[in-house]
């Protein structure tokens, strides 16, 4: 029998009879606890709370009274008080695993992940195949960013209970966080099949499709969520990101405006705003929106890097160094920030340092277009124009909307006497520039 079923089948009368209390206790504290439980089940939580207080006053050694009162606190979302009562119940009866189970969930709701997990660890040896326990533990690991452990817990949860949509959603969340987009999409689709109204599953599936360049399908999932919840900031931000990738810049602006109006503290709205400003080459706006993202979440490496890049593009190289340092402190493997360090080195004519950083970026991320762009800048400084053109060609293949790459390649081709190729690239650059010039933020 699973722990969840034991909890649901818990019989108050049977439990109470397991304790050898005095006749006075049975006629006072125990009876009050029974009445309080009846009030709680009837929805009279305030009256139940008063009666549990009386029951505990009459018999402070009665664990079930603390347990019952903890359920009232749970209903009132007073999770700190719930934990206190469950801890007292555990002190009195450390053998009752339901107390640990409920405390683990209350600690989870308080965001005390490690303490919550410690209680789950206490229960697992007795109920290793309880799917609800595994699901909660998976979410615990997700919140602690222990993604591989979360993946393992959710994998077990869905194998034990294949019809639990939340477990499939949790599994999908762990997988997408690990960059496993195909399996994540599959799990999100299973969650949708089991619970067609589970909007976060559509959102997550849309993210998977966005990251695998299936733009139309991603937009369809995001749009479905928005049709049900017009103010859903995650879906609005996601759809805007896809529209930006498709160069449908003007369409992205209203989505971002709605998202920021719905939740001004949602960091990724400003990150995506800065991405839009980046694509529009509005460097002052990149700086502005990056600062807003940092105000909402100062621990986001991407936001610090975006701020640094905006400052670099405005020509403020020295001002860019501090936010770039912060970005790398938060995430030493941030390849965007390392690439920007390379750009600073190039501007300072520290070519060996720049080359080392560019190589580091491209070894780890061989599909990163801006790494090849920086390599082209390095090769230009080394008077290796032919190789610079090759690097820019790779950058354009990886990002066909890379306007600056077309412009620089056109300029280099003209230098090499390749007039027709130069004209074609510069014409493409001018057309892309015209496209972004008319978009206002």
| pLDDT at site 388 | 97
pLDDT of residue 430: 95
pLDDT (0 to 100) of residue 361? 97
Question: In this structure, what is the dihedral angle of CA atoms 407, 408, 413, 416, given to the nearest 10 degrees?
Answer: 150
Check whether 265 has a pLDDT greater than 90. no
Contacts of 372 (CB under 8 A, 6+ apart): 362, 391, 392, 394, 395, 398
Q: Look at residue 69 and tell me whether its pLDDT is greater than 60.
A: yes
Rounded to 5°, angle at Cα 319 from 315 and 323: 120
Residue 17's pLDDT is 41
Instruction: Give the per-residue pLDDT at 39.
Output: 86
Mean pLDDT in residue range 423-435: 95
pLDDT one-digit tens code per residue, 283-326: 999 999 999 999 999 999 999 999 999 999 999 999 999 999 99
pLDDT for the residue numbered 14: 41
Q: What is the pTM of this model?
A: 0.77
Do 169 and 193 form a contact (C-beta atoms < 8 A)?
Answer: no
Q: Rounded CA gap, 266 and 96, in Å?
A: 41
d(CA 225, CA 232) in angstroms, rounded, equals 7
Strand, coil or helix: 291: helix
Mean pLDDT computed over every residue of the chain: 91
Q: Is residue 11 pLDDT above 80, yes or no? A: no
**314 and 287 in contact (C-beta within 8 Å)?**
yes
Cα-to-chain-centroid distance, residue 311: 27
The answer, yes or no, to whether residue 15 has pLDDT greater than 60, is no
* Residue positions counted in the chain: 441
What is the model's pLDDT at position 264? 72
Residue 417 has pLDDT above 90, yes or no: yes
Which whole number is the average pLDDT over 253-259?
Answer: 93
**pLDDT (tens digit, 9 = 90+) per residue, 78-103?**
999 999 999 999 999 999 999 999 99
Per-residue pLDDT tens over the stretch 150-209? 999 999 999 999 999 999 999 999 999 999 999 999 999 999 999 999 999 999 999 999
Q: What is the pLDDT of residue 37?
A: 85
**In which band, very low, low, confident or very high, does the pLDDT at 22 lie, cut at 50, 70 and 90?**
very low
Tell me which H or E stretch contains 403.
helix 403-415
Distance of alpha carbon 185 from its chain centroid, rounded?
16
Q: What is the mean predicted confidence (pLDDT) over 105-110?
A: 92
Please write the tens of the pLDDT for every residue from 123-145. Answer: 889 989 999 889 989 999 999 88
Position 159 scores a pLDDT of 97
User: Where does the pLDDT of residue 13 fall: very low under 50, low under 70, confident under 90, or very high at 90 and above?
Assistant: very low
Contacts of 410 (CB under 8 A, 6+ apart): 421, 422, 423, 424, 425, 426, 428, 429
Alpha helices in 11-164 (DSSP H): 12-16, 23-27, 29-41, 45-58, 63-75, 79-92, 97-109, 113-123, 131-143, 147-160
Every domain of the chain and the residues it spans: 1-127
Which among 331, 347, 339 is positioned nearest to 365, based on CA atoms?
Answer: 339
Q: What is the pLDDT of residue 437?
A: 87
Domain 1-127 has CATH 1.25.40.10: yes
CB 361 within 8 A of CB 373: no
């Amino acid at each position: 029998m699973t722990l969840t079923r034991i909890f649901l089948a818990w019989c108050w009368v049977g439990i109470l009879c397991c304790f050898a209390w005095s006749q006075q206790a049975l006629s006072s504290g125990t009876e009050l606890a029974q009445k309080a439980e009846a009030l709680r089940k009837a929805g009279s939580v305030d009256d139940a709370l008063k009666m549990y207080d009386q029951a505990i006053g009459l018999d402070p050694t009665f664990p079930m009274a603390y347990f019952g009162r903890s359920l009232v606190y749970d209903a009132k979302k007073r999770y700190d008080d719930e934990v206190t009562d469950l801890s007292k119940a555990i002190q009195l009866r450390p053998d009752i695993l339901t107390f640990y189970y409920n405390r683990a969930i209350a600690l989870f709701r308080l965001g005390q992940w490690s303490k919550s997990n410690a209680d789950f660890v206490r229960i697992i040896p007795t109920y290793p195949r309880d799917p609800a326990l595994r699901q909660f533990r998976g979410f615990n690991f997700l919140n602690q960013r222990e993604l591989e452990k979360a993946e393992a817990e959710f994998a077990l949860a869905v194998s034990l209970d294949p019809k639990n949509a939340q477990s499939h959603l949790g599994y999908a969340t762990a997988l997408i966080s690990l960059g496993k987009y195909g399996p994540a999409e599959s799990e999100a689709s299973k969650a949708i099949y089991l619970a067609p109204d589970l909007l976060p599953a559509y959102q997550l599936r849309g993210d998977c499709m966005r990251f695998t360049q299936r733009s139309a399908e991603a937009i369809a999932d995001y749009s479905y969520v928005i049709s049900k919840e017009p103010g859903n900031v995650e879906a609005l931000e996601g759809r805007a990101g896809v529209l930006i990738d498709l160069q449908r810049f003007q369409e992205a602006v209203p989505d971002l405006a709605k998202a920021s109006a719905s939740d001004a503290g949602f960091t990724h709205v400003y990150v995506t705003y800065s991405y839009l400003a980046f694509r529009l080459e509005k460097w002052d706006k990149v700086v502005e929106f990056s600062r807003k993202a940092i105000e909402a979440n100062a621990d986001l490496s991407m936001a610090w890097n975006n701020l640094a890049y905006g400052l670099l593009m405005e020509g403020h190289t020295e001002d860019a160094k501090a936010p770039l340092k912060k970005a790398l402190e938060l995430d030493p493997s941030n390849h965007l920030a390392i690439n920007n360090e390379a750009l600073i080195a190039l501007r300072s004519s520290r070519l060996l340092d720049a080359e080392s950083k560019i190589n580091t970026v491209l070894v780890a991320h061989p599909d990163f277009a801006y790494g090849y762009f920086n390599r082209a800048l390095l090769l230009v400084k080394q008077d290796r124009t032919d190789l610079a053109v090759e690097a820019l060609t790779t950058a354009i293949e990886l990002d066909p909307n890379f306007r600056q790459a077309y412009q620089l390649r056109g300029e280099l081709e003209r230098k090499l006497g390749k007039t027709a190729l130069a004209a074609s690239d510069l014409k493409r650059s001018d057309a892309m520039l015209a496209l972004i010039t008319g978009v206002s933020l």
